[in-house]
Amino acid sequence: MRSVLLILFALCSASFVRGETPEEARAKLTAERWMSLCRAVTDGSGAANGDVLVDNDFVTGECFGAFKTLIEVARIVDDHGNPVLGVCVPRVSTYTQWIAIFVDSVKRHPKRYNDPFILVAIASAKEAFPCRSK
């Protein structure tokens, strides 16, 4: 949980540095906003020669960056080898797979639209990549 709070703090701090009000910053951190940003990745992606084809723009980069960070944090384990976020990241997974899992989860749970992006993203990853009990 401490990791989640640190991530939220970092995201909020970045917003305040740009001169946004707390309300503007919170609105940019909702699951609904990120679903809207990332939907372009899942709706527009196709494959050619094993490459994913998406628009090369700021919005796409913002979405990929958020999920790259989430995946890297999800790989962190504690002193006992347990994932700190409770997500067991598979050896092979892609950014577009994680993004699609998040978008699908938000679509299935519209009550979570106004919840913080990071909490919904972690919950959707836990559902998709649960850890087995030792």
**Would you say residue 8 lies in a domain?**
no
For the chain, how many structural domains are there in total? 1
pLDDT at 26: 60
Model confidence band, residue 20 (pLDDT cutoffs 50, 70, 90): low
* Residue 117 confidence (pLDDT) above 80: yes
Asked if the structure places residue 24 within a domain, the reply is no
Q: Is the pLDDT of residue 35 over 60?
A: yes
Answer whether residue 3 is part of any domain. no
Determine the pLDDT at residue 121: 96
- Is residue 2 domain-resident? no
Contacts of residue 22, defined as CB under 8 A and 6 or more positions apart, other chains included, come to 12, 16
Residue range(s) defining the domain that contains residue 67 = 29-128
Which residues 6+ apart lie within 8 Å of 124 measured at CB? 101, 102, 104, 105, 106
Q: Is residue 100 part of a domain?
A: yes
